[in-house]
Amino acid sequence: MLRLNGDDMKQTVLILLATAMAALGGDWMQWRGPELNGTCSAKNLPASWSVESGENVAWTCDLPGTGQSTPVITGDRIFLTTSDDNQLHAVCIDRKSGRIAWKKKVGQGREMPRGGNAAHPSAVTDGKTVCFLYGQGTLVAFTLDGKQLWEKELEKEYGRLATKFGFSSSPLLHSGTLYLPLLYLAGKNDPTAKNGTTLLAIDLLTGKTLWEADRPTPATKESLDSYITPVLGKQGIILTGADLVTSHDPKNGKVQWEFDVAKGNRKTNWRIISSPVQADDLTVTAYPRGRTLVALKPGGGKRWDYEGYVPDVCTPAYGDGLLYVLDGVKRYLTCINAQNGREEWQEKIPSDKGFFASPLVADGKVYMLNLNGEVFVYAAGRKPKLLEQFMMGADNSAASIVAVDDALYIRLPNKLICARNTK
């Protein structure tokens, strides 16, 4: 029998209450939504839409620049980031009209490898304050009406955020605190750079650093690079990267448990991109470079592992006991029973291009967007069925589709589209 002391019991209850409260809300306030797992309670969502014909499209908004951050939504406000010739913007869009409510210049970005920019991390909001993060380390908070509250330049404090293909982790917000991993190999030929092995906790209202916790690791070279966003586990804040899965006490960052994904088989290029997802009591994460999917119990013990078409980039979605696992490189969608790791079904997606965006599960459907801007919609559940396949036509589409109430929000690099049933 598991026995908890008073402090552990109090912390566990607080985390469970926070997770339950998040699930009750329909807003999409963080990168992976109200339940932090790519699912939501939205209903009456369209299975298809067309910008060209206007079918099931409520509005389209041209963005001031490009980016790949996923929109976050609270009330009638949508927030996302863009970069226009490396001028970074924080953007607020009116959810009803699709018009830009405000935009703020927040700093100068830089070119990222493979044609990217610094507008990759997604914003986060508690419904009163919104915080934007950028790949060159600018972290800035505003009121929902656009009044700046504070700004931090992380690279001035911690050196260059030197992940090989550009820093793109989004913050996790929990109980008024931002949790941000700085996990990377120090950049070459840069005297300001050092290896990132730190988890930061920052107060949302003031920008004050509450604590920074070192995360020792046996990893070396590129295996130090982690592009993930933390998730709230049953006991603490879950990180993956640098060969480890770790759970951290939200109060001080202390490591509660760790699981070594590379024990006995350590490599130097096992960077990780796919983020962990919480499936009830289990933490599910892909191994680096999509080798294996593993489910960990509270405390870090292994429940099951699965070898097959496992994501390198995309983060699984979880709903109604099922994991929807998108291997975006080889273009397979697999449905897995979350409690025992058994494969329910697997489908080769008829896509000519790969996927970076993570799947959305809502209203009995699984929505996926490939890098060419082509949408694939499958039926959610224990039997595979491709419902729709259609092209929106925008290269480098890597933001995940999100849903609130009866509408979908699809971010292409330079546009935001609201899709709603109009019939």
pLDDT string in tens for the chain (423-residue length): 333 444 444 444 444 444 443 433 489 999 999 999 999 999 999 999 999 999 999 999 999 999 999 999 999 999 999 999 999 999 999 999 999 999 999 989 888 877 689 999 999 999 999 999 999 999 999 999 999 999 999 999 988 888 888 899 999 999 999 999 999 988 765 666 678 899 999 999 999 999 999 999 999 999 999 999 999 999 899 999 999 999 999 999 999 999 999 988 899 999 999 999 999 999 999 999 888 999 999 999 999 999 999 999 999 999 999 999 999 999 999 999 999 999 999 999 999 999 999 999 999 999 999 999 999 999 999 999 999 999 998 999 999 999 999 999 999 999 999 999 987
Q: In what order do the strands lie in the sheet with 374-379?
A: 360-362, 365-369, 374-379, 386-391
Closest of 296, 226, 227, 225 to residue 260, by C-alpha: 296
Backbone region of residue 233 per phi and psi (left: phi > 0; alpha: psi in -120 to 50; beta: other values): beta
Instruction: Find how far residue 349's CA is from the centre of its chain.
Output: 22
**Residue 244 CB: number of other CB atoms within 10 A?**
23
Burial letters 262-271, b for 16+ CB under 10 A, else e: beeeeeeebb
Q: E strands within 53-176?
A: 57-62, 72-74, 77-84, 87-94, 100-108, 124-125, 129-133, 138-143, 148-153, 172-174
Helices (H), 146-228: 154-158
CATH number belonging to the domain at 6-420, selected among 1.10.3210.10, 3.40.50.2300, 3.30.470.20, 2.130.10.10 = 2.130.10.10
Question: In angstroms, what CA-CA distances link 335 with 208, 231, 306?
Answer: 42, 21, 12
Cα–Cα distance measured from residue 170 to residue 228, given in angstroms and rounded to the nearest whole number: 8
Kindly list the domain boundaries of the chain, sorted by start residue: 6-420
* DSSP3 helix / strand / coil % (the chain, rounded to 5): 10, 40, 50
Residue 347 · residue 356 · CB < 8 Å: no
Cα–Cα distance measured from residue 161 to residue 172, given in angstroms and rounded to the nearest whole number: 18
The pLDDT value recorded for residue 13 is 43
Instruction: Report helix, strand or coil for 162.
Output: coil
Block residue for tokens 């920019």: 117
Q: How many CA atoms lie within 13 A of 383 on its CB side?
A: 0
Phi, psi dihedral angles at 188 (to 5 degrees): -75, 145
The pLDDT value recorded for residue 192 is 65
The pLDDT value recorded for residue 189 is 58
